[in-house]
Amino acid sequence: MTPRLRRPSTLLFLVSLLLTACAPARSGSPSATTLPSVSVAPRVPAHSIYPLTLSDDAGRQVTISSAPTRIVSLAPSNTEIACALDACDDLVGVTDFDDYPAEVADVTDVVIGAVVDVEKVVAADPQLILAAGNELTPTTVIDQLTDLGYPVLALYPHDLEGVYNDISLVGGAIDARGAAEELVTSLQARAEAVATAVAGADQPRTFYEVGVFEGSIYTAGKDSFLASLLSLAGGEPIVGDAASTAIQLEDLISADPELILLGDASYDPTITVESIAARSGWADMSAVRDGHIVVVLEDLVITRPGPRIVDGLEALARSIHPERFP
């Protein structure tokens, strides 16, 4: 077709579009258009999911009025979820504790020393705030931000399922459901693989040392996320008090761990296999006598309930059943 021939039809197309766009909404009257009707699809925007209302992990109903392009994250795990859903560029506020992925180092810190600086959050002008539940972001702060008019999603997963749900939740909030589904599916597959790999193996009584401080021993709490990961990784977790995550030394001795995982070795170079054996009262534990003490350097991903949690699960499984992961 020659350009000259095309021009009149293009012009006609454009004019009819213009007239259709300018026509009143209920164009039932015959005087609406004077041009012959051209059957072209009217230019109406695709169906939007916003405004949408979600229920967060604290049970609050949160309404997001339009697609958030400015996101503030108040916890490292939330930052990782957002980045895994390809929304890293939308982050306008993170915590000073965030360290993954590397590009978040350039984003403004709105949480410093675990204290949420509300002024900085407001200055960042977010359209969505991802907070941490269970008082990790204090409820008073969440209330304050909600009162200021921001949609705040509080995320607090108790187990792997919870992480998958949070990923889906965030994906739904930022209109990235597809990416979320993909991510969840791949994480589930890897977790399945771990379960398969350790299936049938003997489950050693496993003690995961979170920290020892001034005579108090901290480990996985009863029914905690960490305990569930230890089980999935093929161990029988020795657990502490659900609220304080502390365990008395005598309870630990009577539980007699067969395997000790030194999670605090990730942060403290003085925590070594030898240093455990030197502790008074610990020498008679099976794990110590048999030398089944493993230094764990991946505590960060084991305890951060974000997309890398499955990395942590894999690390735990390798520590508990090295023979199954050649």
Residues lying near another protein in the complex (CB under 8 A): 58-60, 112-113, 115-120, 122-125, 134-136, 138-141, 143-144, 146-148, 242-244
Q: Classify residue 311 as exposed, middle or buried by CB count within 10 Å of its CB (0-12, 13-18, 19+).
A: middle
Closest to another protein by CB, 120 vs 190, is 120
Q: Which is nearer to another protein, 205 or 222 (CB)?
A: 222
- Residue closer to another protein by CB (options 138, 172) is 138
Closer residue to another protein, CB minimum distance, 83 or 91? 91
CB of 35 to another protein, least distance (A): 45
CB of 74 to another protein, least distance (A): 14
Minimum CB distance to another protein, residue 304 (Å): 17
In whole angstroms, how close is the CB of 57 to another protein at the nearest point? 11
At closest approach, how far in Å is the CB of 248 from another protein? Answer: 15
Question: Distance (Å, rounded) from C-alpha 299 to C-alpha 78?
Answer: 17
Give the nearer residue to another protein in terms of CB position, either 120 or 205. Answer: 120
33 vs 108 by CB, closer to another protein = 108
Find the shortest distance in angstroms from Cβ 143 to another protein. Answer: 6
Do the Cβ atoms of 186 and 300 come closer than 8 Å?
no
